[in-house]
Structure 1
Amino acid sequence: MNGKDCVSQGKTALGIEFGSTRIKGVLIDYEGNVLATGTYDWENSLVNGIWTYGLDEVVKGLQGCYAALKKDVQAKYDITPTTFGAIGISAMMHGYITFDGEGNQLAPFRTWRNT
């Protein structure tokens, strides 16, 4: 199956990785071939003595990374992905965001730079 067919049929896996300086996205087929990529550069900030990323920056970065990946798919295959067979998300080692049961953020995003 060619890349365009994989994308149009959702026979793909989308991976997103929140790194400390860049959010990276990759779309692969079920054989592990890279179909498209996208990135978004970001930087953490020192706020009240804590290295962090604002939750709005997380959302903006995810949207920016996906927009770049989607643009790459459109440039290569002249289609827009509408579904995926699998989605995986990972984040930097030693980083976390805490939420309560209603989805409210409890503390700033802590990063490895605070360890």
Structure 2
Amino acid sequence: MTIVTRFQDQNGEYVPLRVGQHDYPQYPNDHDDGFGVRHIQDGHNEVDTDSIASTMILGECIYQSGNDTHYCAYPSINNPLYAVVYTLREDWHSGDGEPVGIITAYPVSTLL
């Protein structure tokens, strides 16, 4: 899958943002849900690369071992304005030996 750009995380790892794949709304619990640019555009309309970069470097990040993902929120997990979810897991489907990368990125609603 084509890499659009790369971002650096807090550990110095380069995380790709791929073209990715669209969501499959007919299978909402399917493990083949979308990721990358197509998924972000499907659910959140735009890909804000400045916010992705800031969140990955300056945000608070946690690793979720159950699904092998990193969740970063800016400015913090408890008070997020923007969130990025990514994995460093490689997928043989890509054929390039790089991680899957960014799964999704989105502004967090601050509606009360």
TM-score, normalised via structure 2 length: 0.26
Structure number with the bigger relative contact order (C-alpha 8 A, sep ≥ 6) is 1
Greater fraction of residues in strand: 2
Say which one has the larger Rg.
Answer: 1
More helix by share: 1
